[in-house]
Amino acid sequence: MFENAEIIPVNSPELTEAAKMLFRDYEKWLNVSLCFQGFEEEVNTLPGKYAPPEGRLYIVRQNEKYTGTIALRKIDEGICEMKRLYLIPECRGKGIGHKLVSLIIDDARKIGYKKMRLDTIKEKMPKAVEIYKKYGFKEIEPYYHNPNPHTLFMELDLTI
């Protein structure tokens, strides 16, 4: 049913609205409050901190349905953060997550970032953690305050 995934930069009002809906789906699926991250403002101002030249926001379209997202933002000089890797449940396990992660890592290198960080909830997203490890992400100490004790922080050296 969901074949031929297109990964598209979010660069129009239609795509921005679709990304907002997917971000909200992600929040519901995660079932964790993201208010400490300023999630409402993030959604309401998309692409916001994910806008070029220092950021990226992509959406996945399959058979005219929007099915996933991934984003990138600057958090410090030479350091970026991967955010909002999300695929609707029926589109998982088909290699799309790998494509999204590969794309965002390539973009980060092209922009000139030296390190990429992310945070995730290991128990909720074990497949995502597997993907991150395959790409070389290593566990690190927290790089910001997150009230969820199950949060896993990871980093990738983009120079190797």
Signed CA dihedral, 93, 96, 101, 102: sign only: positive
Name the CATH topology of 6-114.
Aminopeptidase (3.40.630)
Question: Is the Cβ–Cβ distance between 117 and 28 less than 8 Å?
Answer: no
pLDDT band at 26 (very low <50, low <70, confident <90, very high): confident
Q: Which helix (H) or strand (E) holds 19?
A: helix 13-30
Q: How do the domains of the chain map onto residue ranges?
A: 6-114
Q: For residues 153 and 144, is the Cβ–Cβ distance under 8 A?
A: no
Per-residue pLDDT averaged across 78-98, rounded?
A: 94
Report the predicted TM-score, pTM, of the whole model to 2 decimal places.
0.91
* Coil, strand or helix at 37: helix
For residue 38, the model assigns a pLDDT of 66
pLDDT at 122: 83
Does residue 31 register a pLDDT over 70? no
96, HSE (Cβ side, Cα atoms, 13 Å): 27
**155 close to 115: Cβ distance less than 8 angstroms:** yes
